[in-house]
């Protein structure tokens, strides 16, 4: 029997460009890449060099702190480049697919130790996150609980699971349960009908961020100082289940191509780390102006170059919206056009209802200024935390105050909606990321 939780605070942003349920298999992508920045908490070193041949599932990078913890190739083929930036930092490792789909065989994983070693070597362990700090979990710390999220409420997100994935999901949950003395929680959307014998199921309803791990943890069992929990999405749990069942990895990614500037929003079937230049070829409507390509959703995704960008972790959405740098509006910001959206009743659009899709662009539409204490964050922030005061403590570097205000519970994505509604135009997610990194550096 699942338990129900209703999230009341939040906001569903009515964005144009929702994807249909039509699935189109991508057969054009020939180049794939893994970016170390998507896996914070470790220093990643190259395990290959340009020209090396690899199978799907063989390491491309390994962690300096633990050489058995790896990031692996999603396809078989030839390493095209180990691309480095400033100070020779690895920005990505790219692989040209040979089309053969040869896979590394992890063999029969018959016991707990072999399975954990396979999780680390396969790259699946790096797809999980740890709270506190929102990093790849520390391998030597046993989590209090594990939270698996089986739905996404971000703008234009599509369902994570298909019926064919459910048996593997149960196997993945059983595997994860071995590594905690606490519980595995499976968080699903209300009415989904998903059940499990290996995990305690909670049904969530309400607006975004009901699908965020932070919201679910806060509603079920908050993280206190000295405690550690792991989080992952259900697709990763499915990959874990398939690895344990078959000894091989599944790098398939169901990616929603969304946004008002996507010609035909749909679900593309590709693989982890696909090149955006081929994934989006002929898909983006760029005739009328500049388009921003976002790997992910508009709140937490990463801006990517369409010609040189990649499908980034967590590999389930690409959004295309107007850049807005060539906009020419009568009266500019002061216009009362019904086409403008506001969470406040600042524009007449609310008379028609704010659930009607709006065409957003990437403009901030305001200037950076000091914090305005208006409680506007609280209206979209469902966690039992005072967000303004926590942010100020982070900016001041006051560790004791940060701990008192609940920094161990949060991740940058939890502040995405407050950043959207912020009158002060502060980069809240960046502030939280820097605060978590500072706290970890000073306390560990």
| CA count, 13 A, side-chain hemisphere, 300 | 26
| CA count, 13 A, side-chain hemisphere, 153 | 27
CA distance 185 to 173: 9
* Per-position pLDDT tens, the chain of length 444: 689 999 999 999 999 999 988 888 775 678 999 999 999 999 999 999 999 999 999 999 999 999 999 999 999 999 999 999 999 999 999 999 998 989 999 988 989 999 999 999 999 999 999 999 999 999 999 999 999 999 999 999 999 999 999 999 999 999 999 999 999 999 999 999 999 999 999 999 999 999 999 999 999 999 999 999 999 999 999 999 999 999 999 999 999 999 999 999 999 999 999 999 999 999 998 766 689 999 999 999 999 999 999 999 999 999 999 998 877 777 666 677 777 787 877 777 666 666 678 888 898 877 778 888 788 999 999 999 999 999 999 999 999 999 999 999 999 999 999 999 998 999 999 999 999 999 999 998
In the prediction, which pLDDT does 79 show? 98
Tokens read off for 82: 């180990």
In the prediction, which pLDDT does 260 show? 94
Beta strand 317-322 pairing with 252-258: parallel
In the prediction, which pLDDT does 28 show? 64
Tokens read off for 371: 């914090």
Enumerate long-range contacts of 300-309, CB under 8 Å, 24 or more apart. 300/154, 300/412, 300/413, 300/416, 300/429, 304/276, 305/276, 306/276, 306/277, 306/280, 307/276, 307/277, 308/277, 309/275, 309/276, 309/277
Tokens read off for 174: 């059983």
Torsion angle of alpha carbons 63, 68, 73, 74, nearest 10°? -110
What sign has the CA pseudo-torsion 413, 175, 172, 3? Answer: negative
In the prediction, which pLDDT does 61 show? 98
In the prediction, which pLDDT does 153 show? 98
End-to-end alpha-carbon separation of the chain, Å?
A: 40
Tokens read off for 407: 């920094």
In the prediction, which pLDDT does 160 show? 95
b/e map of 146-168 (b: 16 or more CB within 10 Å)?
A: bbbbbbbbbbbbbebbeeebbeb
Cβ neighbours for 134, distance < 8 A, ≥ 6 positions apart: 40, 410, 411, 412, 433, 436
pTM of this structure: 0.95
CA distance 120 to 243: 12
Q: In terms of Cα–Cα distance, which of 144, 167, 154, 152 is closest to 223?
A: 144
């Amino acid at each position: 029997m699942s338990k129900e939780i209703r999230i009341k605070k939040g906001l569903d942003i009515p964005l144009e460009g929702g994807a249909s349920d039509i699935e189109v298999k991508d057969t054009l992508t020939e180049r794939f890449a893994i970016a170390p920045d998507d896996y914070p908490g470790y220093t990643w070193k190259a395990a290959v060099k340009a020209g090396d041949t690899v199978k799907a599932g063989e390491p491309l990078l390994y962690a300096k702190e633990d050489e058995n913890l790896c990031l692996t190739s999603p396809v078989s083929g030839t390493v095209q480049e180990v691309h480095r930036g400033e100070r020779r930092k690895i920005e990505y490792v790219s692989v040209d697919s040979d089309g053969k789909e040869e896979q590394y065989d992890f063999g029969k994983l018959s016991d707990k130790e072999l399975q954990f070693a396979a999780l680390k070597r396969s790259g699946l362990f790096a797809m999980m996150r740890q709270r506190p700090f929102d990093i790849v979990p520390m391998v030597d710390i046993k989590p209090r609980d594990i939270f698996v999220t089986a739905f996404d409420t971000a703008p234009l997100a599509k369902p994570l699971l298909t019926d064919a994935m459910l048996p593997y999901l149960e196997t993945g949950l059983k595997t994860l349960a071995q590594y905690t003395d606490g519980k595995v929680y499976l968080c699903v959307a209300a009415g989904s009908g998903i059940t499990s014998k290996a995990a305690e199921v909670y049904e969530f309803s309400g607006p975004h961020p009901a699908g965020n791990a932070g919201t679910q943890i806060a509603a079920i069992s908050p993280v206190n100082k000295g405690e550690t929990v792991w989080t992952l999405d259900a697709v990763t749990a499915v990959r874990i289940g398939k690895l344990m069942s078959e000894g091989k990895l599944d790098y398939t990614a169901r990616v929603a191509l969304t946004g008002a500037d996507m010609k035909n929003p749909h679900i593309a079937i590709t693989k982890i780390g696909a090149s955006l230049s081929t994934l989006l070829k002929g898909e983006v409507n760029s005739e009328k102006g500049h388009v921003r390509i976002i790997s992910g959703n508009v709140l937490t995704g990463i801006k990517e170059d369409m010609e040189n960008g990649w499908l980034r972790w967590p590999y389930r959405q690409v959004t295309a919206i107007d850049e807005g740098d060539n906009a020419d509006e009568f009266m500019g910001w002061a216009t009362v056009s019904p086409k403008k959206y506001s969470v406040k009743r600042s524009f007449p659009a609310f008379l028609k209802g704010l659930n009607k899709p709006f065409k957003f662009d990437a403009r901030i539409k305001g200037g950076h200024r000091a914090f305005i204490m208006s409680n506007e964050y609280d209206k979209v922030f469902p966690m039992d935390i005072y967000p303004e005061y926590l942010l100020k403590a982070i900016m001041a570097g006051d560790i004791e105050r940060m701990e008192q205000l609940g920094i161990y519970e949060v991740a940058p994505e939890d502040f995405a909606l407050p950043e959207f509604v912020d009158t002060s135009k502060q980069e809240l997610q960046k502030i939280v990321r820097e605060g978590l990194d500072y706290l970890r550096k000073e306390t560990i």
